[in-house]
Amino acid sequence: MKQHTVIDSPYGPLTLVAEDGVLCGLYMTDQRHRPPEETFGRRDETPFGPAIDQLEAYFAGELKEFTLELRLIGTPFQRGVWEQLRLIPYGETRSYGQLADALGNPTASRAVGLANGKNPIGIIVPCHRVVGANGSLTGYGGGLDRKKRLLDFESGAALF
């Protein structure tokens, strides 16, 4: 059974989705690849206490690594990419090519980009930390402005 809630953040409202009490989605407004609202289940904050607490600590600059149980729903390749994203340290970035290398498939940087764009748990699974080979800010499902703001926040260039 799915449940959802919506919380405020410095990046606009965030919709949290859980299935059987385990976080399986974190979506921003106007996010590319955002599932239809009717798939989020009933509105209920009950399963989201730890996620809300950790997100609040993250936005306060007090948390650098999330320790939540997650249910990453996707293909085996997508889940592999998303697990690699979780290994990128706070305040650092990796290129699509570096992630493809880490997955043992150096020619898969395009596929890594596609999987990155379909990440269902934004911020907590930090797809915003992936940049182009030359360090440029490339696509982000939540919009390039949000990506830049998240990277600036993590680098200490912007605090809320």
Residues designated catalytic: 127
Alpha-carbon distance of 50 to 34, in angstroms, equals: 23
- Paired tokens of 142: 């939540």
Report helix, strand or coil for 10.
Answer: strand
Query: Helices 76-85 and 109-117 meet at what angle, rounded to 10?
Result: 80
Measuring CA to CA, which residue among 122, 114, 120, 112 is closest to residue 149? Answer: 122
